[in-house]
Amino acid sequence: MKTRGVLAVLGFLCAAEAAAHGGLVDLSVYDRTEAKRLPVYWHEGRAYIVGKPGNEYQVSVRNRLREDVLTVVSVDGVNVVSGETAQPSQAGYVLGAHRAYDILGWRKSLAETAAFYFTALADSYAARTGRPDNVGVVGVAVFRRKQDPQPLAQPSAAAKQRSAAAAEDSRLGTGHGRREASYVQQVQFERASSAPAETITLYYDSYRNLLARGVIRSPVPIAPLPQPFPGSFSKFVPDPQG
C-alpha cells in the first residue's frame, strides 16, 4: 500500500542519545527553550513528560533498524504534517537506517514549520481548530517498507546458508508558534502492512497536574543528619531542665 505525501528528512538530525522508548524507533521530546531532553516518567504502564508552559519543544524520532521506516507523527491527535485529525494511514516522515530527525513543529510547506510550544488547552492548535479532546499526547505509528519478493535459492546455494488531591491546572496543549526553516522532500513509500508495526505513545502535562494525578511523586523532605558538635562551648555538663 503506497502512502501519499510521505516526506524524506533532509536535515536537523538529532543526537543519538534519545531518552525514550520503542522497539523499532525511539521517541523523545527536547525542550528547546531550556536546552534539555525531558525525562520520561512511567505510571501504570504509560509514559509521561513534564511540559513547561511557554517553552518551545521538538519531537525527536530515531530509527533503530537497518532499513527505512515511515513514521506517522501526531501531536494532540493532529497529524503534524497534514493537520488532519490523525490516523495511521496518513502522511509522515521517512527515516533512513539508523537515522534520526527532530520535528520542530507543524509542517507548513516543504521548507517551513510552525514551532511547537507548550501552552494552555484553549491556546493549543488542536483546540483552536475545534479538536480539544485529545490534547496532551504525542504519538508515532511506525511502518516498515514492503520488500520485493526474493527469488528462491537453488539447493546448492541453500546448503551453504545458515543463518491525588491537589487542584489541577488547565490541561497543557501544543501551540502553533513561530515559522522557521525545516527542509524535507516528498518520496514514495510502500508499506509492508496496513496496520502499524509499532505505535508509541507519550503523554504530557504540567508538573502540577502530573503531581496531582500521582504520576510524579512529591519529593520527600530529607531530615538533616545529626551533628556531633551542634552547640556552643561549655566548661561542664549542666543539669537538664524540668
Cα 159 to Cα 215: distance, rounded to the nearest angstrom: 55
Instruction: List the grid coordinates of 56.
Output: 518551545
> Does the CA dihedral 19-56-52-129 come out positive or negative?
negative
Cα 113 to Cα 54: distance, rounded to the nearest angstrom: 18
Q: Are 112 and 161 in contact (CB under 8 A)?
A: no
Strands (E), 64-155: 69-75, 78-79, 93-95, 100-103, 105-109, 112-120, 137-144
Q: Are 205 and 50 in contact (CB under 8 A)?
A: yes
Q: Report the Cα 45 to chain-centroid distance in Å.
A: 16
DSSP letter assigned to residue 87: -
Q: Report the Cα 12 to chain-centroid distance in Å.
A: 16
Supply the pLDDT for residue 97: 93
Supply the pLDDT for residue 20: 59
Q: Are 58 and 85 in contact (CB under 8 A)?
A: no
Element spanning 96, H or E: none
Cα 125 to Cα 59: distance, rounded to the nearest angstrom: 16
Instruction: List the grid coordinates of 60.
Output: 525527536
Reported pTM: 0.77
Q: Report the Cα 233 to chain-centroid distance in Å.
A: 59
Query: Using DSSP, how many helices (H) and how many strands (E) does the chain show?
Result: 3, 16
Q: Are 68 and 49 in contact (CB under 8 A)?
A: no
Supply the pLDDT for residue 218: 74
- pLDDT beneath 50, residues of the chain: 11-19, 155, 157-168
Q: Report the Cα 201 to chain-centroid distance in Å.
A: 8
DSSP letter assigned to residue 210: H
Supply the pLDDT for residue 3: 55
